[in-house]
Amino acid sequence: MGCDGGTIPKRHELVKGPKKVEKIDKNAELVARWYYCTLSQEKLRRPVVTCELGRLYNKDSVIEFLLDKSPDKPQADSAAHIKSIKNVIELNLTDNPAWTGDKGNTKGDKYDDQRAQFICPVVGLEMNGRHRFCVLRQCGCVFSERALKEIKTDICHKCGAIFKDDDIILLNGDKDEIEQLRKKMEERRLRAKMEKKSKKTKPAECVSENGHTEEGAAGPSGMAKASKTNSRDKISFVSSTESTAEPKSSENASSSSSSSSSSAAKRPNPSVGSKSEAYKSIFTSHSSAKRTKDQSSNWVTHTAYYF
């Protein structure tokens, strides 16, 4: 049976069987995970950061994602758990001396073996995805898993910071390892929230305790103390009144003498004749302020002078 153009269809064109599973090139996957940013798909360049799930990012792309959290961006789901810049760790990486960068094969006549840019500072393994690498959450130093297993210490080999087993984050792990890291991340965030709540409730408890102590002081013991203080105040008041009543007569006698002495001690008024001419010229009653008939006007002004 042919078609309009006289072509004969084959069996695989008529019978649709199950789709073949596309095989992903492992080398290409390793290069994409270890050499490129998870968000922007650009080459990794310093400063490089990692999230609590072990994925690698450029710090610039993370900041841009936090400023603009639109769901239309590609690879936005891979960084949905990053809520702030505090949720990422800046990596303290060790450069590979054998890495020549992009200038290694400019002509294209040599085999490019894609040397890794970073290595393990203890063992010297390249950070190319063929070896498992870990980062310490406290200081951000990156080591190979082999180095951490061979030299078992609680101190960082590079900077000397103290760390625990929970602080080790595996970079670019499998699905099961990512799920374990996710559980640890959620537990850590819940613990941080509980600590914040406890810090907020502590001052409130202190205020309530102070209020209870004040109310307790106003109870029976407080009433007894108040009655004692009131009785002491009454006794002191009576003694003070008795002491003030005795010198009243002497005060009356002295008041008459003091009034007479104060009247005698008053400053006498100076006589008018002792004042100077400059002082007298201030007033309108002085002869210099008086006007003649020629100077005075016949109409009334605001400041009229009539003498």
Q: Are 92 and 142 in contact (CB under 8 A)?
A: yes
Pinpoint the alpha helices (H) of the chain: 11-14, 26-35, 59-67, 145-150, 175-217, 220-245, 248-265, 277-280
pLDDT value for 50 = 94
CA-to-CA distance for 80 and 65, rounded, in angstroms? 10
User: Among 21-30, 149-158, 287-296, which is the least confidently predicted range?
Assistant: 287-296
* Predicted confidence (pLDDT) per residue in 141-189, tens digit: 999 999 988 888 889 988 988 988 888 999 999 999 999 999 999 999 9
What pTM did the predictor assign? Answer: 0.57
Over range 233-260, report the average pLDDT: 47
3-state secondary structure 231-292: HHHHHHHHHHHHHHHCCHHHHHHHHHHHHHHHHHHCCCCCCHHHCCHHHHCCCCCCHHHCCC
Cβ neighbours around 168 below 10 Å, total: 15
Segment 45-53 mean pLDDT? 92
Please check whether residue 78 is in contact with residue 57, taking contact to mean a CB–CB distance below 8 angstroms.
Answer: no
CA distance 17 to 22: 15
- Is the model more confident about 92 or about 7? 92
In the predicted structure, residue 278 carries a pLDDT above the cut 50: yes
- Measure the CA–CA gap between 205 and 202, rounded to whole angstroms: 5
- Selected residue with higher pLDDT from 232 and 68: 68
| Residue of higher predicted confidence among 222 and 36 | 36
pLDDT of residue 151: 86
Per-residue pLDDT of 73-126, as tens digits, reads 777 788 888 999 999 999 999 999 888 776 655 565 555 556 888 999 998 999
Residue 57 structure tokens:
């990012």
| pLDDT at 261 exceeding the cut of 50 | no
Tokens representing 296 are 């005075």
- What is the Cα–Cα distance from 186 to 180, expressed in whole angstroms? 10
Q: How far is CA 45 from CA 97, 101, 172, 188, 282, in A?
A: 16, 11, 17, 29, 92
